[in-house]
Structure 1
Amino acid sequence: MNGSSLLSAFGALAVLVVTFAESGLLIVGFFLPGDTLLFPAGVLCATGAAHGGSGLSLWQVMVCAAVGACVGAQVGYYIGRRGGRAMLARSHSVRLKEVVTRGEELLARYGQRKAILIGRFIPMVRTVLGPVAGVLEVPAKTYTLWQVVAGIAWSQSLVLLGYWLGAEVPGVDNYLLPLVALVVVVSFLPVLLQRRRRN
């Protein structure tokens, strides 16, 4: 089920559940559309308002996105703190281990605050950064403050970008799939650039 279908079926509740799961439930989070849900949600809020209502309210989407992102990241941190190291040791997923390594590198290279801010904007890394921060025993106060700042900045910027585009460009909702694909490509650019530097 893609982002638009989720929004049609469940409205702002889909935003809350998906951002929560993607931000903190590790393996489950890899398969959920974070960027691909928030951006079209913003577009649909704008175009729905222009056409008499889509059932999506901008303020509800923004609140659900922020709450889901921040609470999910905090749950992920406590999962990592309580049993993340054992869970990662048992995992046979090469992809998961690569992303965890990326999260560890971010923390080592940029320090805790910058890594938490930057990691939120990188797909897959945002899913593991909370558990990795918990495993590495980043202080709870530091993690909580900066993940809330990052979670709000990430979620609100994507929703508002979609809303602005939906309000300013007539008929943009007819091109949601190519736009979402563009958002995904832009989101993955930091990962691709990092891999290129390594090679």
Structure 2
Amino acid sequence: MLLHVQDLPRLVSRWIMDSGASRHMTGKTALLYDVKNINGGYVGFAGNQGGRIIGEGTLSNGIVTFERVNYIAELENNLLSISQICDRMYTTHFTDKECLILKPGFVIPEEWIIMRAPRVNDLYVLDMSVATTTTGQAHCFVSRAIEKESKLWHRKMEHIHLRKMNHLVHNDLVT
């Protein structure tokens, strides 16, 4: 069953972890303290919707505090920006069941990392055309074939993974 955010029970302070949000933002000033009126510009939402940033305040749950949370009256959901959380030196980890916010200083062992999505402005962008190892070196998946040929061989070889196709080509196991 597919569950949509609007189907979730309405709790007083439920926040969506948003990797696409450039800033923390809410449509409910009651969730913030030390709210100041500001003229912060316009924010576009999904579709053709949007609204003006008219306030800024602080959000806290007693353990973690986020400052400069934007208030936008037209916003229906509360959004926490992953990039802003990372700017506070916290680490985030997503699984199929949850998102974890880890204490500053937590380091993931290099051998656990299989791909990296560098931060570009406030978004984390993964380039799926190359595999970036933990050493930062890029490897081309299919180097000697045009895209049409690669797709054909991918199908002929029972949908073999592109890395395996690349291994076959680089080791001269196929011509």
State the TM-score, normalized to the length of structure 2.
0.28
| Higher RCO structure, 1 or 2 (CA under 8 Å, sep 6+) | 1
Larger strand proportion of the pair:
2
State the TM-score, normalized to the length of structure 1.
0.25
Larger helix proportion of the pair:
1
